[in-house]
A and B are shown apart, each in its own frame.
Chain A
Amino acid sequence: MNWGSLENFLAMGGYAFYVWGSYLVTLGLLVAEIVLLALRKRSALARLRLHGTAAQGDR
Chain B
Amino acid sequence: MNWFKYSSPQSFFPVAGKLVPWFGALAAIACAAGLYIGFFVAPTDAQQGEAYRIIFIHVPAAWMSMFLYLVMASWAGLGLAFNTRLSGMMASAIAPTGALFTFLALWTGSLWGKPTWGTWWVWDARLTSELILLFLYFGFMALQAAIDDPRRADKAGAVLALVGVVNIPIIYFSVKWWNTLHQGASVSLTKAPTMAATMLTGMAVMAFGFWFYSIAAALVRARCIMLERERASEWAADYARGSA
> Given B40, B41, B43, B51, which contacts A15 in the complex, CB threshold below 8 Å?
B51
Interface size classification for chain B: 35 or more
Contacts of B58 in A (CB 8 A): 22
Asked if residues B241 and A52 are in contact (CB atoms below 8 Å), the reply is: yes
Contacts of A29 in B (CB 8 A): 100, 103-104
B166 CB–A CB distance under 8 Å: no
Given known pairs A19-B51, A37-B217, A52-B236, the reply for A44 and B228 (CB within 8 Å) is yes
Contacts of B228 in A (CB 8 A): 44, 47
Asked if residues B41 and A49 are in contact (CB atoms below 8 Å), the reply is: no
14 A-B contacts (beta carbon < 8 Å) = A12-B50, A23-B57, A26-B57, A29-B100, A33-B96, A37-B221, A41-B227, A44-B228, A51-B231, A52-B231, A52-B241, A53-B241, A57-B232, A59-B232
Which A residues fall within an 8 A CB radius of B? 1, 3, 9, 12-15, 17-19, 21-23, 25-26, 29-30, 33-34, 37, 40-41, 44-45, 47-49, 51-53, 56-59
Which B residues fall within an 8 A CB radius of A? 39-44, 49-51, 53-54, 57-58, 61, 96-97, 100, 103-104, 107-108, 111-112, 114-115, 213, 217, 220-221, 223-224, 227-228, 231-232, 236-237, 239-241, 243-244
